[in-house]
């Protein structure tokens, strides 16, 4: 090796080390100053520090419910979820001759990038109609509200209602029968008699779009709106992996064997209660395509070709009914993860690239 390179070699190593250290510092600085990271850490502090969360309640905004139905306002053709200030909440409670301590029944559901905390509060003990007149809106069934508000607001409503529902059904310890105490943020409940801490939970559910390569399989239950078809779904059993749950559900519901499967996305789903929908595609064996439907679970299950799927995606529920009283097939709206699975399948069939999350 020439003398020049021998003499400069240690310098190269030193410069490389300096560069790596500077890069690590810059990355650490970016992460610590990231809006998302700061927001998540602030939310975590609110969950762990009762005093800090109680203080945040005096400056936060509130989404209100009445017996788990969210409050909406219609502005033009849009439905909005109003955020009430702490001062507005105090005014409403005073109007009903309630104390500010009611606000401690609220649960923390998030915060803005500017660290304005968001809470949800159920006013089910107060007179519904008076609140609706006072605030010029209405309390709406969650299933209807879920599909008329923006997608981002749908997710917020689902989270808020799920948390409120969990607290309502976990007021007593399952071991001692003694009352449990909610922390200020609503991120847990504690039984002081047993020392057990309870945390909100979601039930994992697989939702599967089955395909034979050129067709996809959709089904409906008797409780569905007329004409609506969707992907297969079912709860995961205890001790069961997602892959096992997918194969089992396909076998149980339509008598087919999934040969291969792949993950698509996930979604919190509040029906019937807090569920984590894990969406997958499954390819079944071409040698075995005859559907053997489980009539205890399903009313109908059948194969759909590409053209029929594309027509169904354009169809609105109101336009599905025909003159003879029958219904043309239509599919879940865009807010539902089933719609995403069907849309991905169409893109695969038409050789369009699937959107990467």
59 pLDDT exceeds 70?
yes
Contact assessment for residue 182 and residue 49, using Cβ atoms and an 8 Å cutoff: no
Mean pLDDT of 233-244: 96
Give alpha helix (H) positions in the chain: 3-33, 35-48, 50-56, 86-95, 128-135, 142-146, 151-169, 242-254, 306-314, 337-349
Contact assessment for residue 213 and residue 244, using Cβ atoms and an 8 Å cutoff: no
Q: Which two tokens stand for residue 258?
A: 């999934």
Q: pLDDT tens-digit profile of 105-161?
A: 999 999 999 999 999 999 999 999 999 999 999 999 998 888 888 878 888 898 999
Domain boundaries, the chain: 37-170, 203-350
**How many CA atoms lie within 13 Å of 67's alpha carbon, on the beta-carbon side?**
9
User: What is the pLDDT, as a whole number, of residue 164?
Assistant: 96
How far apart (Å, rounded) are the C-alpha atoms in residues 213 and 233?
20
237 pLDDT exceeds 60?
yes
The alpha carbons of the chain give a radius of gyration, in whole angstroms, of 26
User: What is the pLDDT, as a whole number, of residue 2?
Assistant: 52
Supply the pTM of this predicted model. Answer: 0.82
User: In Å, how far are 232, 246, 260, 293, 309 from 290, measured between CA atoms?
Assistant: 16, 18, 18, 9, 20
pLDDT tier for residue 23 given thresholds of 50, 70 and 90: low
- Tell how strand 69-75 and strand 138-139 pair up: antiparallel
CATH match of 37-170 with 1.10.260: no
Lowest mean pLDDT among 1-5, 108-112, 220-224, 311-315: 1-5
**Residue 305: partners with Cβ closer than 8 Å, 6 or more residues away:** 214, 215
Q: pLDDT tens-digit profile of 185-228?
A: 999 999 999 999 999 999 999 999 999 999 999 999 999 999 99
25 pLDDT exceeds 70?
no
Lowest mean pLDDT among 24-28, 31-35, 142-146, 245-249: 24-28
Query: Integer distance in angstroms from the first to the last C-alpha of the chain?
Result: 50
pLDDT tier for residue 289 given thresholds of 50, 70 and 90: confident
Mean pLDDT of 233-237: 96
Mean pLDDT of 303-312: 95
**Residue 15 burial (CB < 10 Å; 0-12/13-18/19+)?**
exposed
CATH architecture of 203-350: Alpha-Beta Complex (3.90)
Contact assessment for residue 164 and residue 107, using Cβ atoms and an 8 Å cutoff: yes
Find how far residue 119's CA is from the centre of its chain: 17
pLDDT tier for residue 319 given thresholds of 50, 70 and 90: confident
3 pLDDT exceeds 60?
no
The larger pLDDT score, comparing residue 255 to residue 78, is at: 255
Domains 37-170 and 203-350 share a fold: yes
Token pair 């997608």 is found at: 151
Q: pLDDT tens-digit profile of 84-93?
A: 999 999 998 9
């Amino acid at each position: 090796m020439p003398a020049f390179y021998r003499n400069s070699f240690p310098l190269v190593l030193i410069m490389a080390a300096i560069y790596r250290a500077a890069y690590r510092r810059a990355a650490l600085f970016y992460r610590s100053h990231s809006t998302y990271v700061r927001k998540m850490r602030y939310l975590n502090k609110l969950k762990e520090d009762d005093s800090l969360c109680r203080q945040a309640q005096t400056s936060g905004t509130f989404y209100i419910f009445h017996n788990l139905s969210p409050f909406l306002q219609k502005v033009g053709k849009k439905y909005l979820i109003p955020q009430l200030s702490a001062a507005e909440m105090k005014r409403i409670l005073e109007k009903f001759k309630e104390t500010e301590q009611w606000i401690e029944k609220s649960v923390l559901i998030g915060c803005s990038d500017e660290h304005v905390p968001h809470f949800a509060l159920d006013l089910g003990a107060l007179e519904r109609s008076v609140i609706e007149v006072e605030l010029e809106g209405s309390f709406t069934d969650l299933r209807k509200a879920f599909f008329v508000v923006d997608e981002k607001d749908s997710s917020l409503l689902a989270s808020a209602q799920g948390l409120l529902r969990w607290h309502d059904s976990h007021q007593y310890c399952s071991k001692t029968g003694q009352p449990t105490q909610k922390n200020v943020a609503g991120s847990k409940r504690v039984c002081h008699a047993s020392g057990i801490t309870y945390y909100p939970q979601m039930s994992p559910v697989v939702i599967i779009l089955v395909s034979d390569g050129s067709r996809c399989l959709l089904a409906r239950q008797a409780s569905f709106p007329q004409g609506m078809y969707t992907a297969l779904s079912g709860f995961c059993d205890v001790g069961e992996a997602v892959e096992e749950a997918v194969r089992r559900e396909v076998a149980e519901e339509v008598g087919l064997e999934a040969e291969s499967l792949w993950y698509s996305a996930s979604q919190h789903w509040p029906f019937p209660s807090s569920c984590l929908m894990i969406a997958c595609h499954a390819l079944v064996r071409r040698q075995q395509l005859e559907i053997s439907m489980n009539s205890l679970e399903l009313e109908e299950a059948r194969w759909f070709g590409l053209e029929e799927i594309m027509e169904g995606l354009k169809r609105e529920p109101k336009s599905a009914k025909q003159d003879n009283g029958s219904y043309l097939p239509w599919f879940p709206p865009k807010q539902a993860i089933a719609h995403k699975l069907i849309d991905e399948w169409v893109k695969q069939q038409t050789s369009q690239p699937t959107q990467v999350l």
